[in-house]
Structure 1
Amino acid sequence: MAETLFIRLASKQEQAISWLVWSTSELEIIASGELANASALTELTEKANQRKVVVLVPANDVSLKQLQVPGKSQRARQMAAPYMLEDDLAQDVEQLFFAYATSQNDTQDANCLLAAVEREQLEQWLAWLAAADISAKKMLPDALALPYETESWTSVKLGQQYLFRQGFWQVMTVDQTLWPVVAELALASEREKLASKDQDNSADNHTIKINSYAELEAIDGFEIVQQPEELPLALLAQHAEQTSFNLLQGPYQVKTKRSPMVKSWLLAAGVAGLALLLNLGYKGAKLYQLNQEQAAIEQQIIDRYKQVFPQTKKVRLGTIRSQLKQKLAGVSSANNDAHFLTLLARLEPAFARVPQLKPESLKYDNKRQELRIQAIASNYQQFEQFKNQLERLQFKVSQGSQNNQGDQVTGSFSIKAG
């Protein structure tokens, strides 16, 4: 069940405060009451924690103005509007807070709707709520929560005062004893406005229709249409949501508070996000390490290939397999390469122990199962060392002729498995 707590604050701390819990789904009063003063707001703290809170404030503490302000942008109008009212306001502009409403439609009469309230008064209301740990997202002049009707006024009695809504952005609060006087002044003002627009005498007979939800003294020129009497705060609760205006704007706008459950979920999500980030970081570092190791292994393969085939200038890892097949085809006269590969693998320790000796060519005779190596080294001793290493590996070695070519020596070996 969707419920809203309505609190109607007073102008002064010692004055009574009305409250009401309204069911927006069942359209009925759940509970209502009255507090002695602002200090008793703590009695509503528990109710406020479980429900949406709408605060109503006395309309006589808020001045509603409709202005025609030069300027194309809404921001420019709002900046200029307060200073256009300096002569009409009792307080200095700096002492007031201005909240703005969305106009139904900009006309030649008004393109800027604003509400002016003393900063001190507004901050006092907010302080009362804060002291009771009550958070309200919406604050509204009480008379603006009355039903809005285009062709008539609406009225209700709240305590010893009448609240009137005369139009979309027109309200009035009148003490009960002053109603006859105020009514005559309001009627005269209305007829004067009509007379300025109409040249005939029909304005003199103009009457004002009031849909009143409380007993209202009949006055000449007013048509009082009695509506069913309701608890005043219940009537305001039913129509408050129809008004989108909110006094809590700018620095007074209330930030949404997250529930404890949402905070718990956010904390859990934060921890999970951190864990995911650490996991991704670890895997990223591991992947980087593996990539580095792979690059090192690939470079070793290339270096070893160049060592075995030093005459090769350009080596690409992707083509080493095919290049090796070509080399094998060149040194093998038959399809049986198994013996050659085994023989070549057994030779690897000898090459490792005499790294200065480099093979220039390899030729394998499959019929004789003999490997012929043409090699190059720095001196004759390295050929002798290589031969000794082969014999230690149980190979039968025949050493060919050796030739001195400048600072290098070339020679050959015929190698068979022992």
Structure 2
Amino acid sequence: MNEFLIVLLNRNKSSPILWSIYSLTNSKNIISGEFNGWENFIELTKYSKKREVCLLVPSSNVFLSYVTLPISTSRPLKEIMSYLLEDNLAQDIEELHFSILRQNHHGGFVCAIDKKLLHNLLFEFKKLGIKITKVLPDVLALPENDGLTAIKLSGEEWIIKKGQYLGISIYSDWLQELVNSNWVKQGDNYISLKSYTELPELTFNKNQIWETSKKTISTMELLSQGAFQTECNLLTGVFKPPLSFFSNWKVWYKVFAVIILFIAMLLTNHILQILKLNTQAESYRAESERIFFLSLPNKDKISDEKYFRDQIQNEINFFSIDKNKNINILEWIADLTKSLQEKDKIWLQNIKFDANRQEMRIKVNSKDFQSLEKLRIELSNQFNVEQGQLERSTNDIVNGLFLLKK
């Protein structure tokens, strides 16, 4: 979102309430206004649509402090911070909601606010359909300077910020007391103050510098910038809004899109591989069946894969070795195949193998006598060849017979 609705509440429910819409694009308020009391929150309904809403609660209704963890404890700050602050609070800790603004190994900055007040405030906006995304003490929305930062609100109330996470609300009559207090000192040195509202007449101590900013800026303009920039939020624990998938969709949709695209690519590639393998398997199966029926013409069907494997293995065993003569029939056929390769003018008619006599008779056809002579020479490289009578048939085909021995 590029626009935020900032609402500055007053300690009195019937007092005027300031509001503004801060534009992230323009880095300034694009519209602001004022209405009287909580009962007129409904006026914000039209401005809250499609915008994040931040409430600035009065600093007089909160307690800001730094809490130091005892050396002896191993428990986290969130479990014991309320007990560590108990002596400094005028209200029962069970009635307060505590939020850690910032912490380190030694302790942390903590804010306490009345549970009932915060609950009622959120309930009023919920009834109007307005979702609150941030609640912040108004003093923490002030800009950070090297020293203290101050501004005067309605009436005689001032808010003064110290550092990034501390601040107070004080009336004009008490400013002089503050000037002389240790709260505005760091060690023995006074902390300088920059006010965005003209300061009243005060008596300062030596080397104490309180000055009014030369820059003129409205209260809401100043607080709106700080409210957007700070990460502090009192909506913690039981008040923390539930995570919404759709509210974070704009942040994560590109990541989800890349993940989904990657998964889709993997699935597509996997499916293509399966289809390719299935096609190859079908091709191999078809070729295996063709060879099976060609080699075993007395078989007319294949019942299952086991039957197929058993029949092929039986034929291989039958033709492989004659145990009595120690003859490998397949070796003879392999050698014959070598001799017949690239003999496109030779047609093999039949083969007869006699294991007892250890010889093979082949009958071939050819277009001419020269091709048969070349075949005889080629066979001589693998076998002892005896050529039978050659004769030409009536259709000019030459018939030849060869007796092969090892």
Normalized against structure 2, the TM-score is what? 0.63
Aligned residues: 327
| Conserved 8 A contact 1:9-1:125 | no
Q: How does 1:84-163 map to 2 (within 5 A)?
A: 84-102=84-102, 111-151=107-147, 153-160=148-155, 161-163=157-159
Label 1:189 to 1:310 Cα distance change in 2 as closer, same or farther (>3 A).
same
Equivalent-residue separation in structure 1 for 2:355 and 2:11 (angstroms): 106
Equivalences for 1:300-311 in 2 at 5 Å?
Answer: 302-311=309-318
- Deviation of 1:21 (Å): 1.4
Counterpart of 1:82 in structure 2: which amino acid? S
**What is the alpha-carbon distance in structure 2 between the residues aligned to residue 214 and residue 74 of structure 1?**
45
Instruction: Label 1:221 to 1:368 Cα distance change in 2 as closer, same or farther (>3 A).
Output: closer
> Residues 191 and 171 from structure 1, CA distance in 2 versus in 1: closer, same or farther, beyond 3 angstroms?
closer
One-letter code aligned to 2:181: S
Q: Does 1:210 align with 2:193?
A: yes
SS at match of 1:246: coil
Q: CA deviation at 1:210?
A: 3.4
Compared CA separation, residues 366 and 131, structure 1 to 2 (3 A)? same
| Match of residue 335 from structure 1 | 340
> Among residues 222, 236, 261, which one is paired with 2:223 in the alignment?
236
* Aligned twin of 2:32: 32
Name the CA distance, whole Å, in 2 between partners of 1:9 and 1:74.
39
Task: State how far apart, in whole Å, the 1-side matches of 2:101 and 2:74 are.
Answer: 11
Paired residue secondary structure (1:33): strand
> Do residues 258 (structure 1) and 246 (structure 2) align?
yes
For 1:236, what is the secondary structure of its paired residue? helix
Contact kept, 8 Å, 1:16 with 1:35, in 2: the verdict is yes
Quick one: structure 1 residues 280 and 367, their matched pair in 2 at CA, closer, same or farther if it must change by over 3 Å? closer
CA distance in 2, matches of 1:360, 1:37: 117
> What are the Cα deviations for residues 83-102 of structure 1, in whole angstroms up to 9, with x where unaligned?
11122223333322211122
1:366 aligned to 2:366?
Answer: no
CA distances 1:351-384 after superposition (whole Å, capped 9, x unpaired): xxxxxxxx99998522378xxxxxxxxxxxxxxx
In the alignment, does 2:44 pair up with 1:44?
A: yes
- 1:363-414 deviation per Cα after TM superposition (whole angstroms, max 9, x unaligned): 8522378xxxxxxxxxxxxxxxxxxxxxxxxxxxxxxxxxxxxxxxxxxxxx
The whole-number CA distance in structure 2 between the counterparts of 1:158 and 1:192 is 20
Quote the Cα distance in structure 2 between the aligned partners of 1:364 and 1:13.
Answer: 117
Partner amino acid, structure 1, of 2:158: Y
Structure 2 distance, partners of 1:183, 1:313, is 114
| Aligned-residue CA RMSD (Å) | 4.7
Whichever residue aligns with residue 19 of structure 2, its letter is: W
C-alpha change, 1:132 and 1:249, in structure 2 (3 Å) is same
- How many percent identity over aligned positions? 24
Q: How does 1:336-355 map to 2 (within 5 A)?
A: 340=348
> What CA distance in whole angstroms lies between the structure 1 residues aligned with 2:85 and 2:220?
32
**Residues 217/274 of structure 1: CA separation in 2 closer, same or farther (3 Å cut):** same
Distance 1:148 1:262 in 2: 31
Q: Measure the CA separation in 2 of the matches of 1:240 and 1:35.
A: 20
1:79 is matched with which residue?
Answer: 79
